[in-house]
Each structure stands twice: as C-alpha cells, then as structure tokens.
A and B are shown apart, each in its own frame.
Chain A
Amino acid sequence: MDKQALLHRVVSRQGSIVPFTFDGETLEGYSGETILTAILCERAVLRQLEFSTEMRAGFCLMAACQDCWVWTRDGLRLRACSTPLSHGLDLLSTPPIMSEA
C-alpha cells in the first residue's frame, strides 16, 4: 500500500489529536477532520473496489459520488468524506472477514 499521503494540511489545526487505525496500523488525525481527510493525510488509498484490486481514494468529497465508503472492523460502512473522525475508529479498506453469530 502506498504510504505517502495524498492530501496535505496547508492550514494550522487547533483541534486535538485523534488516534485511529486503518488496515491495522495506528494513525493520527485531528478533531474536526473527516475520516477521508485523516486517512488521506497519511495514506494514498481509502478502499478497494468491489470488482477488482483497483484502489480508490474518493472523488467528489461532497457525499455525491459514493466512492469513499470504508469498512469498520465490526462490519459497519462509513462514507469517509461525510463522517467525522472519532477516537479509536478501527477502519479497513476491504471488508472484514465476517463470522456468523
């Protein structure tokens, strides 16, 4: 996976640092950021396309293109561009292996 950031913070932050994990690695973002911003300031992908190994990293950033849905380890789906980052989120670019209850 490309560990070079796609986005770059160009203005200062007053918010607190918010730790979260993405594909098992611990990353940090800032409060006030979206999941998309926080991930893409550390990595160059958000999700794997369902139909191939192609990786996507969002597109419209205004909740229209639906190309930034990431998974949580619990199997929840979050639209990264419109969901605020919160403490301890455990995010994945691919679906988690689901065990049946």
Chain B
Amino acid sequence: MTSSTETIIIGGGLVGVWAAYFLARRGRKVLLLEKGFIGAQSSGVNFGNLRLQGRHPDQYPLSLRSQGIWEQLPELIGDSCEYDRTGHLYCAFNSDEAEKLTAYAAVSRSHDLQIENLDRVSIKQRFPYIGKKVIAATFSARDAVANPRLATPATARAAQAYGAVMIENCEATQIEASDKGFEVHTQHGETWSCLYVINSAGAWAANIAKQFGEDVPAFAAGPPQFVTEPVPYRIVPSIQTIDGSVIARQIPRGNVILAGYPRTASDLAANRAPVPPRKTVAGMAALSEVIPSLRSCHVIRVWSGIEAYLPDMIPIIGPSETTPGLFHAFGFCGHGYQIGPGVGLCLSEWICDGQTPTPLEAFGIGRYRTTIAVSEKFKSEFDAGGANA
C-alpha cells in the first residue's frame, strides 16, 4: 500500500529537521526519513561554531538569515541548545595572514557585520591567554556557538509538535520520479508518494543526486577533533587561526574543544571517521602555542564526523536541474552548522512559495556541469593528495 505526503526529506541532519520544521509550521505535510538516528552524524558531532566572519562572500545573506534563527531558538523551538553569543577571534601568525584577515573583514563589514581589528597590544589586553605567536586578529561579536549534540534533536521535536512525521532507522532505498511527483521506497518495504523530495542526506546525498543524473565529485571526510578535561572557564570567544591549525572554544563547564585541519578521509561504507593519532598530537601542539596556559591540561577524548566535501568548498543548495520537485542541500564542506537552519528555511520557501528571497545562485548544482576550479581552501585543508588520500 502506498501512503502519501507532500514532501519527503531524506536525512535527519540539521538541514533536514529545519526544513521539516518550517514546512510543518506552515501547515504542510512532511515526512522525514533518517537511515540512523536524528542528528547522529556530522550535525551532532561537529564543532558547534556559529561563525560569521571569514565566510564565502556569496554566503552572507544566507548566513545572516540563519544567524537570526539561531538567535531566536527559545522562541522558535523552546530550547536554547546552549546557544551562546561568545564572539569569534580570528587569528593571524604573520603579516600575510594578517592581510587575509583584513580582506575578510572588508567583506564582513560590507554585510553590516561589526568587525574589530586587533593588534598585538590589544589582543594581550582583551584576550590575555592568547600566545605571542598571534600577531593580529579580528573579533566579530555576533558570532556564537551552540551545542550540536542538542540542536538537531531539539529542532526535530519542535517540528514534530507542528505535525512533521519523522521515522528513524529507515533508509530510503529507492526514489523514483513519476508524472505525479515521486515514489519513495523504504528499507522496511513501505512506499510513500509525494510531490517534493529534499535530498539532505549529508555525506550520503551525492549518491541520491547521481540517481537523478546529477553527478558531483563529493567525497566524505572529517576534521580531527578533541576535547580536554574541564579547566576554569576563561576563554569566552571561539579562537580560530587563519591557517586552520586551531579552531578552539571553551564551554562554560570548562572543557576546551579543538578542531583543526588537515581533515581526514572517512569510510562511508563502514560509517567510520577515524582520527589519526598524529593529528591529535599536532592539534595538541598547535593549541598550546595559541593558548600556552592550556599546556598542562589533558586531552580526554577524540572524535570526528563524516561530512561531504566538494572541490570548490561550497555546498550545493537548490532545485535539481533534471527533476522538478527535487531539491538538493548537501556538501556543506565543514561549514554547514551555522547555515543549516537558514538552508532549511529557504528549502521550505522554495516548496511553499516557489522561490526564496535569499540569493543562492552560487550554490546551484548546475555549476558542476562544467569543470569546477579547485578552491585554495580545498588544497590547504586536506592531507596531501586531497580527497583520495
């Protein structure tokens, strides 16, 4: 027997649950299918950064819209998910990097973000724990953090309260376009018909796009991350070095979390995201250079998560170019957490209104019909040999 709904979302990560939330809130019928558990992949294990400075220039309208959602979490979903407007300190080790910071700051300011330029003296004054190796920094006060382990399940519960239906441990094994929309078959032998499909299956999404003739060179990888034991809370903003060796934050409970490059290829089939111990050691050394007082602090756990990356290091967001009613949102290249709610909102607008006011042309899947230039970021953020390493 075939049941029907209006929209089926494949993948219960942050993007999927926010799309479900906004659709359900507008009274639309929506079903979300998650092959595992809601928020258990990179949506749940990422660093938790809601960073605004240093984003891709084309992403600011989306990014700022998304930040507006994060800033209203208690009103929208009844849970703050430990959202904390900590600010973000972007650090440079040398004059070349300082120049990059200046350029990023100019882009941020053109979107009305308040960015402060800090020299060595003012860094020492304002953030005395930052080591001497950092010679310049920019500070963005609107940047924030939120607990990734909580955000996706909490949003899922709010979406369900509006009537969204979510099924966990249920893989969509086959998605067929028909003249009336789509038929989606699940691993449990059920068939659902619907008018719209949102492909937000994270690292597994490229396989779905491929079935609809849209082949993109996405690959799975994850950043090495670790967390320290709790130490007295002093480091309020997120600290990021522009070379990517340190992306760190301290939570008020005292633990310091570190993520850093280079990222490591993940085993998609085995659902494994290994953390090479050498990268942990490199991260430990890098963190103790940037925040020397953490030297005697202990690392207590490492982890990573499986994310989809694309060679131009920006995601695919928007309608399919082969199949009407199909929308893609994947390949967030390690920066999907901040924009996730905004992407969910735009997807709901496409379905309900036929368009979104947020400019997203740069993120269309059509760009992969021609050869894509490999991003500088891509070269610097992965092991030598890139995706195939």
What is A's interface to B at a CB cutoff of 8 Å?
Answer: 50-51, 69, 74-77, 95, 98, 100-101
Q: Is the CB of A95 within 8 A of B296?
A: no
Give A77 to B295 CA distance when docked, in angstroms. 10
Q: Quick one: given A75-B293, A75-B296, are A95 and B232 in contact (CB under 8 Å)?
A: yes
Query: What 15 new A-B contacts, CB under 8 Å, besides A50-B230, A77-B229, A98-B293?
Result: A50-B253, A50-B254, A51-B230, A69-B229, A75-B293, A75-B296, A77-B296, A77-B297, A77-B298, A95-B231, A95-B232, A100-B128, A100-B129, A100-B293, A101-B293
23 contacts between A and B (CB under 8 A): A50-B230, A50-B253, A50-B254, A51-B230, A51-B253, A69-B229, A74-B296, A75-B293, A75-B296, A76-B296, A77-B229, A77-B296, A77-B297, A77-B298, A95-B231, A95-B232, A98-B232, A98-B293, A100-B128, A100-B129, A100-B293, A101-B292, A101-B293
The total of chain B residues at the interface (CB under 8 A) is 13
- Chain A min CB distance to B238 (Å): 19
When chains A and B are docked, how far (Å) is the Cα of A21 from the Cα of B25?
62
Residues of B within 8 A of A76 (CB): 296
Q: Is the interface of B mostly helix, strand, loop or mixed?
A: loop
B residues contacting A by CB (< 8 A) are 128-129, 229-232, 253-254, 292-293, 296-298
Closest A residue to B130 by beta carbon equals A100
Which residue of chain B lies nearest to A71 when distances are taken between CB atoms in the complex?
B296
Contacts of A100 in B (CB 8 A): 128-129, 293
By a CB distance below 8 angstroms, the chain A residues around B231 are 95
Give the 6 A-B CB pairs with smallest separation, nearest first.
A50-B230, A100-B128, A76-B296, A95-B232, A75-B296, A50-B254
Q: Which residue of B lies closest to A75 (CB)?
A: B296
- In angstroms, Cα B229 to Cα A51, docked, is 12
Q: Distance in Å from the Cβ of A67 to the closest Cβ of chain B?
A: 12
Q: Which residues from B are CB-within-8-Å of A69? A: 229
Query: Which residues of the other chain, B, contact A95 by a CB distance below 8 angstroms?
Result: 231-232
Chain B residue with the shortest CB-CB distance to A95: B232
**Which residue from chain B places its CB closest to the CB of A97 in the assembled complex?**
B232
A100 to B295: give the CA distance in the assembly, Å: 12
User: How long is the Cα–Cα vector from A47 to B253 in the complex, in angstroms?
Assistant: 17
Q: Which residue of B lies closest to A100 (CB)?
A: B128
A67–B254 Cα gap in the complex (Å)? 16
B232: chain A residues at CB < 8 Å are: 95, 98
List the B side residues contacting A77 at CB < 8 Å. 229, 296-298
In the bound complex, residues from chain A placing their C-beta under 8 Å from that of B253 are 50-51
Assembled-state Cα–Cα distance A99/B254 (Å)? 17
